[in-house]
């Protein structure tokens, strides 16, 4: 059998832990002392090799009952853990600031989307010559400039829309943290 022997080296005084094959703990202590170890303890190893595990299982099963049927432990789900709340006893906050901020951002996003649509329509009409830029009041804007500003407006609208959704999500997360 393998034994774990703890002690100090006789020459250096440093702590050492070694594994020794021996029949008994007394024999393991004697072997360790012969190897220059001042023994402080002898233990059965906590980590067994595969062969030792198999040997231990065979010894245990033969000593318990040679003819007993193997028992299968019942499998039941673990009991749920009852977590205590943080102790907040007041009403759930409304987070009106997040609600108003999300609404304002959504309205601004809608305005930017509308500006983007009008800019794209103006660029298309300008490209096909339906609208004369010199007489329609948009003489300073070419079709390419209109498309550029349409993209800027669409991206700004998208960012505001995302911010609005973020405000709504944050409000929902904050309110759900107070659910009992």
All structural domains of the chain with their residue ranges = 2-54, 96-176
pLDDT digits (tens, 9 = 90+) for 84-113: 555 556 677 778 888 888 888 899 999 999
Is 116 exposed, middle or buried, given 0-12, 13-18 or 19+ CB atoms closer than 10 A? buried
Q: For the whole model, what pTM was predicted?
A: 0.43
pLDDT band at 34 (very low <50, low <70, confident <90, very high): very high
The radius of gyration of the chain from alpha carbons, rounded to an integer in Å, stands at 40
> Is the separation of the CB atoms in 65 and 44 below 8 Å?
no
> At residue 174, does pLDDT exceed 90?
no
Locate 84 and state its tokens: 């205590």
Q: What angle do CA 52, 57, 60 make, to 5 degrees?
A: 120
């Amino acid at each position: 059998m393998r034994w774990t022997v703890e002690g100090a080296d006789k020459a250096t005084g440093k702590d050492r832990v070694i594994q020794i094959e021996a029949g008994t703990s007394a024999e393991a202590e004697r072997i360790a002392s012969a190897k220059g170890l001042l023994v402080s303890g002898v233990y059965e190893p906590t980590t067994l090799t595969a062969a030792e595990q198999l040997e231990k299982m065979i010894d245990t099963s033969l000593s318990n009952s040679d003819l007993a049927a193997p028992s299968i432990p019942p499998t039941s789900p673990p009991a749920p853990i009852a977590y205590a709340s943080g102790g907040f006893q007041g009403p759930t906050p409304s987070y009106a600031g997040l609600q108003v901020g999300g609404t304002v951002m959504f309205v601004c996003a809608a305005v930017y989307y509308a500006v983007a649509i009008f800019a794209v329509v103006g660029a298309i009409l300008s490209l096909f010559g339906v609208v004369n830029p010199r007489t329609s009041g948009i003489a300073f804007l070419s079709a390419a400039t209109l498309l550029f500003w349409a993209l800027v407006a669409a991206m700004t609208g998208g960012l505001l829309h995302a911010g609005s959704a973020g405000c709504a999500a944050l409000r929902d997360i904050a309110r759900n943290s107070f659910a009992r």
